[in-house]
Chains A and B, each alone.
Chain A
């Protein structure tokens, strides 16, 4: 059931969502089995920024009904640290590496894309555009005009497939997807986490003082993921797939083959698994296997 995606041939349609699987940490925990039974058909890195980031102060997690709220804050070694230390180790994975990058201006994004273009081990580049513009404060990816400009500006800087990871926190996600396509993106991926809030719980029996209530997460608001967002993801992926010609990577709350099948059936070319991998590190392989139990079944999606 190999799948063609932007010039790459993947062994199956299941990849990981950015920031939901650290292959190098997993190699430490599980040893060589990680490489022998790698659960995804491509590996998407955590978001890489120009400068190193420590991430947000804890607490970073909150369990919700059927989901997870996080405010991690994109900790990473920075572009140079990633290229020098992590990428050589990721290169030995048995699957193509997609590097996810984020910048807060077109110039920053351009620098990241250029550096990734030079990295021979990088098969494709994914732009995380869920980042506030340093000047306007608006998420770059939430405004179709701004998004199209940014993609158009960086498109000539690389011959590698350019994927735009859309933000779901936009008025019209399909318009953003179309803008990414018009700017020259080779694919779009969605949905990222939904902006959400949890408050520090009241002590049992305490009377609520609204002025004193504080966000639970050290970063304030967070991003919601897991089964709680699956129906939202399906609607957004369907709306986007209907509007664009380029391939769509669908994700959001997928925990079994049936959920992946739903996303494929509304037009996704690939499906990414995220939060479910936290519960079951081999969820990607399980879902791929369930999707294609044997040679007798029809191949999925256009090849």
Chain B
């Protein structure tokens, strides 16, 4: 895991791009995240706009918001946003040149597949974000060109990407990754149904895989249960209401298998599925 510089840093927004129902917030980070500039795929950062953070709906937001690092290009970090509350709304309003407080990278990252297993990336909704940077790393290591979706791979990727969305505008978010198979709840794009349907088929075809999943808690629980029943290792990137991101507040806990709790911010956000009895319906992060 990459250690974070101690203290939040004031960085500048390079730009913000529409991606269907989502926004990709690009943030200049010339020095990178501390001594090891690149974050580990799966790590996250706490973000807060430098101006007008507070004073929105219900006089919020107050706390910074946790976002997976979706992509790291030299000197620029990308975050995937969906406007679902006063914090995400404010972040979606940012434009080039605006200031952004960034604390990170925080938490654990994904671990490489073992035993020659292939990587099976399963994402839902805005939760696809950490899978993009993970795909970048896995394909780069396999000698395949990186970058956003448009470039066709010259050789076969070792990564299989399955993504689920609620509807067509959200399914446009699939362009964040390369070569994704898509399912939508309303059937407007790709397969009509849940991404776990695609996952079941993939595991049927070849179960010698490690599953990396991020998305809504119900999806994650379905992925966890499916992987457990088939003996497939899975790493889940979890979300939870979080005040600090570095283990101080003890707010972001999830129940651990065998009792007690894990802090999503320091024990996760990437947690080995074997550590969880189940993924509980998550109670909603401050948005």
Contact = CB atoms under 8 A, between A and B. Distances in A.
A279 B6 contact: no
B60 interface: yes
Interface in B241-261: 241-244, 246-255, 259-261
A277 interface: yes
A282 interface: yes
A55 B250 contact: yes
A26 B103 CA distance: 12
B252 to A, nearest CB: 8
A265 interface: no
A75 B103 contact: no
Interface in A33-78: 33-34, 37, 46, 54-55, 57-68, 70, 72, 75
Contacts of A59: 241, 283-284
B24 interface: no
Interface stretch (A17-25, A82-90, A131-139, A185-193): A17-25
A278 B48 contact: no
Interface of B: 3-8, 48, 54, 58-64, 101, 103, 106, 240-244, 246-255, 259-261, 263, 266, 280, 283-284, 286
Contacts of A141: none
Most chain A Cβ neighbours within 10 Å, of B8, B62, B254, B280: B62
Contact of B62 (A63, A70, A72, A75): A63
Given A30-B246, A72-B251, A277-B248, A63 B60 contact: yes
A-B CB proximity, top 9 nearest: A25-B247, A65-B59, A59-B283, A33-B6, A278-B244, A61-B251, A282-B7, A30-B6, A31-B3
Interface in A204-252: 216, 226-227
Given A60-B253, A281-B6, A282-B7, A29 B241 contact: no
B62 A64 contact: yes
Contacts of B251: 58, 60-61, 70, 72
A263 B286 CA distance: 30
Contact of B103 (A63, A227, A281): A281
A25 B62 contact: no
A26 B6 CA distance: 9
A66 B48 contact: no
Contacts of B286: 61, 63
A104 to B, nearest CB: 20
Contact of B246 (A29, A68, A226): A29
Q: Could you say which interface size class chain A belongs to?
A: 35 or more
Contacts of A279: 8, 48, 62-64, 244
Given A65-B59, A65-B60, A75-B261, A25 B3 contact: no
B107 to A, nearest CB: 8
Contacts of A226: 62
B175 to A, nearest CB: 30
A281 B63 contact: no
B250 A280 contact: no
Given A29-B266, A63-B286, A65-B59, A280 B7 contact: yes
Contact of A68 (B3, B54, B62, B106): B62
B62 A61 contact: no
20 contacts: A22-B250, A26-B248, A28-B266, A29-B106, A29-B246, A33-B6, A46-B250, A57-B255, A58-B241, A59-B283, A61-B251, A63-B60, A63-B61, A63-B286, A227-B62, A279-B62, A280-B7, A281-B103, A282-B6, A282-B8
Given A61-B286, A75-B261, 13 more contacts: A19-B250, A22-B250, A28-B247, A30-B246, A33-B6, A58-B241, A58-B253, A58-B254, A61-B241, A72-B250, A75-B253, A278-B244, A281-B6
Given A34-B6, A72-B250, A55 B261 contact: yes
Given A25-B266, A59-B241, A54 B259 contact: yes
A21 B248 contact: yes
A63 B250 contact: no
Nearest to A19: B250
A38 to B, nearest CB: 9
B249 A70 contact: yes
Contacts of B283: 58-59, 216
Nearest to A226: B62
A28 B244 CA distance: 14
Contacts of A19: 250
Contact of A66 (B62, B248, B263): B62
Contact of B58 (A24, A30, A65, A282): A65
B281 to A, nearest CB: 10
A19 B58 CA distance: 27
A68 B59 CA distance: 12
B246 A25 contact: yes
Contacts of A34: 6
A20 B249 contact: yes
B133 to A, nearest CB: 19
A63 B48 CA distance: 14
A281 B8 contact: yes
A33 B5 CA distance: 8
Nearest to B251: A61
B18 to A, nearest CB: 25
Contacts of B254: 58
